[in-house]
Amino acid sequence: MEPHGRNRRNAKIGRRLFALATVAVALNGCGPAARSGATGTAAAPAAPSTAAPPVATVPAKPPTAAPPAAERPLPDSPAPDRVPVPPAAEPTVPPVTERPPSPAATGLPGAPAKDRIVADFTGKAPGTWGLFVPGTATKLTGGGRRIALTFDCCGGPGGNGVDQELIDMLQRTRTRATFFLNFRWIQANPGAAKSLAENPLFEVGNHGTKHIPLSVSGRSAYGIQGTASPSEVYEEIMVNQAALHRLTGKPVRYFRPGTAYLDEASAAIVRQLGMVPVSFSVNGDGGATYPAPAVVGEVAAAKAGDIIIAHANHPGCGTAAGVAQALTALKADGLKPGRLNLK
């Protein structure tokens, strides 16, 4: 075959592979890549797309190296394998089946049982739907110069990695942070999960069981089907809550749904179960897709009270290096990165 014929054929094959990869990434998405929080709602696109739908509010212009300021899936794409502890050396975490535990198993004293949640919320209107719905925290409380660093560990196909470079950097700089752990990620990385839970610099939050949007009416985000009833909302929250209680020995206070999408009724269920539903106001790494310079630009633009979302399950991406550089800038501005402090 002539060289130019081979080039055309290779280009055609490349375009097909890229299209397939784009769909796969969206279906395993970590959530939306909005760059700023808002009190309004953000509508989910009907299907995943490489085109980026607009964000409602954008407080800071992204750096030239960053992708456009837009809402698009935070992909759970494959990343280089780099797990800090060999599987044989990892301690055993008691297995948790995907059956809704009793309130006692959740470690939340007085938490309502599943039957109570179903009775209270069946037939209630879902309310607003999106990233920033009433009842969801998008900013820190209490004032001051604090900002929150939060890192999602989404789990599942292509999402079970451990960004040890990021974790080591946070420990080296004595930087506090909150890690939202998904049930699948905990099952795949019991040693890393236990290490995060035991580290006094860090706190862990609940990132759901199946990593799906939280809805009482079957809404979806980026082609990912959400829960469809109060009963399913309960299970998506509480199966992982039981796993986290086994891991930490205490109730976990914060919940962020897979994709970060939820409706107002689901946010109310989270609160009735004793947790605070958490969104974000700054997208730090676009689902671990931004290169380090873009991460620097996004994170360093944070203001007092912001909640930054980034990811700790994609080793080899730009998150660790970008956050490290941004921390220097934030501290020079008198800001204090740390964990969540919400009510």
How many distinct structural domains can be found in the chain? 1
If phi > 0 it is left, if psi is from -120 to 50 it is alpha, else beta; for residue 240 that is: alpha
Does 54 map to a domain? no
- C-alpha 215 chain-centroid distance: 17
CA terminus-to-terminus distance, the chain: 67
Task: Enumerate helices (H) and strands (E) in the chain, giving the number of each.
Answer: 10, 12
- What confidence score (pLDDT) does residue 341 get? 83
Tokens 């919320």 locate to 121
If phi > 0 it is left, if psi is from -120 to 50 it is alpha, else beta; for residue 255 that is: beta
Does 110 map to a domain? yes
Does 169 map to a domain? yes
Does 64 map to a domain? no
Task: For residue 333, give Cα distances in angstroms to 15, 147, 170, 300.
Answer: 44, 12, 19, 9
User: What is the identity of the amino acid at 125?
Assistant: A
pTM of the model: 0.74
- What confidence score (pLDDT) does residue 64 get? 35
pLDDT in tens, the chain (343 residues): 444 444 444 444 444 433 433 333 333 445 444 444 444 443 333 333 333 333 333 333 333 333 333 344 444 433 333 323 323 233 333 343 444 444 444 445 568 999 999 999 999 999 999 999 999 999 998 889 999 999 999 999 999 999 999 999 999 999 999 999 999 999 999 999 999 999 999 999 999 999 999 999 999 999 999 999 999 999 999 999 999 999 999 989 999 999 999 999 999 999 999 999 999 999 999 999 999 999 999 999 999 999 999 999 999 999 999 999 999 999 999 999 999 988 6
- What confidence score (pLDDT) does residue 331 get? 94
Does 149 map to a domain? yes
User: What is the identity of the amino acid at 114?
Assistant: K
* Domain encompassing residue 138: 99-338
Given a contact cutoff of 8 angstroms between Cβ atoms, the answer to whether 330 and 300 are in contact is yes
Which one, of 284, 213, 290, lies nearest residue 36 by Cα? 284
Does 161 map to a domain? yes
- What confidence score (pLDDT) does residue 58 get? 31
**Phi/psi at 309 (nearest 5 deg)?**
-105, 135
What does the angle CA 113 – CA 241 – CA 266 come to, to the nearest 5 degrees?
A: 65
CB burial string 223-247: b at 16+ within 10 A, e below:
bbebbeebbbbbbbbbbbbbbbbbb
Does 142 map to a domain? yes
User: How many Å apart are CA 208 and CA 184, to the nearest integer?
Assistant: 9
- What confidence score (pLDDT) does residue 78 get? 33
Largest CA distance in the chain: 74
Q: Residue 149: which CATH number?
A: 3.20.20.370
User: How many Å apart are CA 226 and CA 210, to the nearest integer?
Assistant: 10
DSSP reduced 3-state for 299: helix
- What confidence score (pLDDT) does residue 109 get? 59
Does 19 map to a domain? no
Q: What is the DSSP letter of 335?
A: -
